[in-house]
Amino acid sequence: MGFARACSVALVGVEGVVVEVQADLEPGVAAFTLVGLPDKTLVESRDRVRAAVANSGAAWPQKKLTVGLSPASVPKGGSGFDLAVAAAVLGAAEVVDPAVIADLVLIGELGLDGRVRPVPGILPSVLAAAEAGHRHVVVPRGCAAEAELVPGVSVLGVGSLRRLIAVLTGADGAASEPDEEAGPPGPGPSGLLVPGAGPGTGVLSGRPAEGVPGDLPDLADVAGQQGARRALEVAASGGHHLFLSGPPGAGKTMLAERMQGILPPLSRQDSLEVTAVHSVAGILPPGNPLVTRAPYCAPHHSATMQSLVGGGAGVPRPGAVSLAHRGILFLDEAAEFSAKALDALRQPLESGRVVIARAAGVVRLPARFLLVLAANPCPCGRHGLYGAGCECPASVVRRYQARLSGPLLDRVDLRVEIEPVGRCDLARPGSRGEPTAVVAARVRQARDRAASRLAGTPWRLNAEVPGHELRTRWPAAPGALAQAERDLERGLLTARGLDRVLRVAWTVADLRGNDRPDALDVAVALELRTGVARGAALAAGAAP
H or E stretch covering 4: strand 3-12
Cα 287 to Cα 113: distance, rounded to the nearest angstrom:
25
Q: CA 363 to CA 377: how far, in whole Å?
A: 37
CA nearest neighbour of 298 among 307, 311, 306 = 307
What is the DSSP-derived secondary structure letter of residue 78? S
Mean pLDDT, the chain cut into blocks of 10 residues (544 residues total): 91 91 94 92 93 94 94 89 97 94 96 94 95 96 92 94 93 52 44 43 52 70 86 95 91 92 94 93 81 93 92 81 95 93 92 84 90 93 76 90 91 90 70 85 96 93 91 90 90 89 95 92 91 60 40
User: What is residue 222's DSSP assignment?
Assistant: S
With a CB cutoff of 8 Å and minimum separation 6, the contacts of 13 are 280, 315, 316, 318, 356, 363, 364, 365
Pairing verdict, β 109-110 and 116-117: antiparallel
Strand bridging mode 296-297 / 328-331: parallel
CB atoms within 10 A of CB 26: 12
Provide the pLDDT for residue 92.
96
SS (H, E, C) 309-367: HCECCCCCECCHHHHCCCCEEEECCHHHCCHHHHHCCHHHHHHCEEEEEECCEEEEEEC
Residue 185: per-residue pLDDT = 44
- 3-class state of residue 452 by DSSP: helix
Q: Which run of H or E residues covers position 516?
A: none
pLDDT at 538 (0 to 100): 53
pLDDT at position 19: 97
403: Cβ contacts below 8 Å, ≥ 6 apart: 334, 335, 336, 337, 339, 342
Contacts of 229 (CB under 8 A, 6+ apart): 219, 222, 255, 433, 434, 439
Distances (CA, A) of 24 to 21, 51, 90, 168, 522: 10, 19, 11, 19, 70
Q: What is the pTM of this model?
A: 0.88
**With left for phi above 0 and alpha for psi between -120 and 50, is residue 82 left, alpha or beta?**
alpha
CA distance from start to end of the chain: 80
**Exposed, middle or buried by CB within 10 Å (0-12, 13-18, 19+), for 429?**
exposed
State the burial class of residue 402 (Cβ atoms within 10 Å of its Cβ: 0-12, 13-18, 19+). Answer: exposed
